Amino acid sequence: MKPNIIHNIVICLAALLPVMVACNSQEESLPEEISEATLYLNIEPIGLTRAATATLPDNEKMYSVRVIILHPDGTVEHNKFYALDGAEEQNLILLKVTPNEKKKIYLFANEESESAVEGVVGVNSTLSAFFDSYGEGASGFEETVNGLYFTPDYSDGNPIPMSSMYEIDIPEKGVVEKTFYVVRVATKFTMNFMNWRGENVTVRNFTIASHADKNFLMAHVNDSEQNRQLFNGKSWIDWLREVSETSSENDDYATTEAAGWLKDYRLPAQANKQVVYTFPFPVTVAAAEFDENNLDDIKPGTASEAFYLPESKNPKADAADGEQEYTLTLNIVGNSDPFVRKLPNLKALFRNTNVVVNITMYKNLEMVVDVIPFTSVNVTPDYGLGKEDFTGYVVGKDENGNKCWYDGNYYDPVTAVPLYLGPKDNPGKFVTINNKEYLLVYADYERTAAKLDHFFEKETRKKYLLTPESITGYKYGNDMYLNKLQQRVWLDSGGDPNGNADAQAIYTALQNVGLNLKCCHILYEWDRLDWNKARWWGEKGIYPKYWFDVLGNRYPWSEGDTDAKRKNKLGEWVQYLE
């Protein structure tokens, strides 16, 4: 199957709303009077979700913090490690520092997650051991740390490493109080599945192609004209923070695009940039839940899975500005062909990016991609059944979001045709026609007479199809139908003034005998010679021998050759066929 795909793409940056955050304070409290230079650091992960209803998973918080401060000559002034009391979202640190200096402040969180680092001759140890080797007065730290890279391990809730570097001027005395942000060395993918179908859907697996396997510990953002224009005088960290704080989830794509994309950065030369990620286990999305007495209240089944990948660069072919592209592939149980789609408008996968992919399951798949600062997503599944009791049809929504029903295997594009129960003024309900109750099934949302597809009789549960074979019971072969006397006859619906040449000719022939009725789904049985006279020779006074109503009743032409006679036979069916 190659499903039709609707991909309305919305990219937004999540708003950061200020609320109180629990924190862990290190060192002494800030004194009232300061006679020397003091640095007061408030350390937080960038892109922290502050919405009252959202919480970060523990692996995205800080379990430890390390602060390394360098003098202007590059030697180490402070190298402080702080083990936090569990997972923290904020950490306050007070340090006395040498006055009248421009310092570089290196910040790290969750260093214990990395058992091995690479990239520098003689460095083959844990990240903590590397840091501990630089005591006060040591030199060479900046060059060495900028060369470090590692293979991230995000499995089993492993805390995500974070890093950043700031330059700051320290006065002769007084307090420099500032919030410093650490940036996660990771990208996050959140896959949200919403199932409007009436049966469970299982995603066997899904993949993302292609990502890198190694990252630098410190971000390597190029000092290029492209980046200078993007940052507009700010550091890349301040740019990223500002974009996240001034954006909201309601921004349209134009607003987000105006904020720009950080695309000019480097990965380690040793990184394999063509790794394909495969989610390790199946995802089952429960069926939609609905109330047959209130079909406007359908609750889709939902499932959500999150995973982490390294910062990556997968260049888009022929893109001159460094734009990237990434491909999602889903394999669904019961569907032989995978769903493959480029993730639209995901132009870069710089660290600390959260890609939210919303997959909506109707008869086809709809995909929406949001790219936001690092946040958590909380989706609560709804479970339930979703079949219409009388027909057994699967309840769902069509590609426009309208409520519909599916008959048969809705993974198959041949049978996955959305159907609409009941007339437009009473959808999903039985109607009484000529003293019998019927459930009408249409092939269009507007439920027009021309798109009446089939119907059910409630008392007998009989299903009436509106094909010529089903209405008449005749068999088709050799371009003609055989009636019950095995005579070769023509069947048609009375022609169409806007149809092909055959339809136009028959329509004209019936008008010539006074028939100008608008009823849909009425079949006419012609003697084959008479049909040819009407179609090819244009003879006057030629008409069918019989006509059929939708129930399969066969009438002589004389019992339906006028509007009054036809309506007399059809009765209340007329209002559903005109």
Reported as a single tens digit per residue, the pLDDT across 214-236 is 999 999 999 999 999 999 999 99
Q: Is the pLDDT of residue 450 over 60?
A: yes
Distance CA 276, CA 295 (A): 42
Q: What is residue 145's predicted lDDT score, i.e. its pLDDT?
A: 96
Q: What is residue 368's predicted lDDT score, i.e. its pLDDT?
A: 55
Distance CA 195, CA 365 (A): 10
Which residues neighbour 151 within 8 Å (Cβ) at sequence distance 6 or greater?
Answer: 116, 213, 214
The tokens 């340090």 sit on which residue? Answer: 95
251-255-259 Cα angle (round to 5): 120
Distance CA 517, CA 495 (A): 11
Confidence label for 253 from pLDDT (cuts 50, 70 and 90): low
Distance CA 219, CA 105 (A): 15
Q: Is the pLDDT of residue 5 over 50?
A: no
Confidence label for 33 from pLDDT (cuts 50, 70 and 90): low
CB 285 within 8 A of CB 292: no
**What average pLDDT does the segment 140-168 reach?**
95
Distance CA 569, CA 470 (A): 20
Q: What is residue 415's predicted lDDT score, i.e. its pLDDT?
A: 53
Reported as a single tens digit per residue, the pLDDT across 459-508 is 888 999 988 888 888 888 777 788 877 788 888 877 666 667 777 777 77
Q: Is the pLDDT of residue 190 over 60?
A: yes
CB 351 within 8 A of CB 184: yes
**What average pLDDT does the segment 37-53 reach?**
73
**Residues paired with 175 in a beta bridge:** 38
Q: Is the pLDDT of residue 409 over 50?
A: no
Q: What is residue 371's predicted lDDT score, i.e. its pLDDT?
A: 60
Which residues neighbour 564 within 8 Å (Cβ) at sequence distance 6 or greater?
Answer: none
The tokens 């002034």 sit on which residue? Answer: 77
Confidence label for 294 from pLDDT (cuts 50, 70 and 90): low
| Secondary structure (3-state) at 95 | strand
**Residues paired with 420 in a beta bridge:** 442
Burial tier of 33 (Cβ tally within 10 Å: 0-12, 13-18, 19+): exposed
Confidence label for 98 from pLDDT (cuts 50, 70 and 90): very high
Q: Is the pLDDT of residue 104 over 50?
A: yes
Q: What is residue 300's predicted lDDT score, i.e. its pLDDT?
A: 87
Element (H, E) at 275: strand 275-278
Confidence label for 94 from pLDDT (cuts 50, 70 and 90): very high
Question: If you compute the radius of gyration of the chain from its CA atoms, what whole number of angstroms results?
Answer: 35
Confidence label for 203 from pLDDT (cuts 50, 70 and 90): very high
Distance CA 467, CA 483 (A): 15
Q: What is residue 334's predicted lDDT score, i.e. its pLDDT?
A: 84
Which residues neighbour 81 within 8 Å (Cβ) at sequence distance 6 or greater?
Answer: 64, 65, 66, 128, 131, 132
User: Which one is predicted more confidently, 163 or 533?
Assistant: 163
**What average pLDDT does the segment 12-24 reach?**
29
Reported as a single tens digit per residue, the pLDDT across 527-536 is 888 878 877 8
**Residues paired with 455 in a beta bridge:** 440, 464
Helix ranges (H only) for 492-571 are: 501-512, 528-532, 563-570
Distance CA 71, CA 375 (A): 35
Domains annotated on the chain, with CATH: 5-12+188-213+249-373 (2.60.40), 24-184 (2.60.40.2580), 394-468 (no CATH), 478-577 (no CATH)
Tell me the pTM: 0.62
Average pLDDT, the chain: 81
CB 510 within 8 A of CB 542: no
Distance CA 157, CA 142 (A): 30
**What average pLDDT does the segment 157-171 reach?**
96
Q: Is the pLDDT of residue 178 over 60?
A: yes
Q: What is residue 374's predicted lDDT score, i.e. its pLDDT?
A: 47
**What average pLDDT does the segment 419-436 reach?**
90
